[in-house]
Amino acid sequence: MRNMILLLVMVIALSGCRKMADMSDGTPVEWLFKPWPHGLDKDPPEGTPIFKAGWTQGCESGLASYGGSRYRRAYAFVQDMQLVNNPEYYRAWKDAYTYCRWYVWNWDRPWQQ
């Protein structure tokens, strides 16, 4: 009975951590809920802020599309509709989407480990 109470308290306490992970200020808790494939560089390549925004959103969209369930829970398909007609943004988004989705598909699938 005591173990059940302890388990219930832990579940309730940890359920509040999910809200903390939604903050994108780089909190230490974020890495628990936003997995990143081992070996994939998290920083976008050098470029303009528009290029970097496209790269970041494209990579997160690729992880959400082709990653396992832990990536689908942490990421979503993101595309800035105000910038989608900008060739620099869209090219960076498309390249990052393709790169990150194939990276996670080929190197971070649980059944390969």
Residue 26, classed as helix, strand or coil, is: coil
Alpha-carbon span 67 to 36, nearest angstrom: 10
Domain spans of the chain?
Answer: 2-112
For 38-74, write each residue's pLDDT tens digit. Answer: 778 778 889 999 999 999 999 999 999 888 788 888 8
Q: H or E stretch including 66?
A: helix 49-66
Task: Kindly give, in sequence order, each residue whose CB lies less than 8 Å from that of residue 43, ignoring residues fewer than 6 positions away.
Answer: none
DSSP 86: -
DSSP string computed for 28-63 = TTHHHHS---TT--SSPPS--HHHHHHHHHHHHHHH
More confident residue, 7 or 95: 95
Q: Report pTM.
A: 0.67
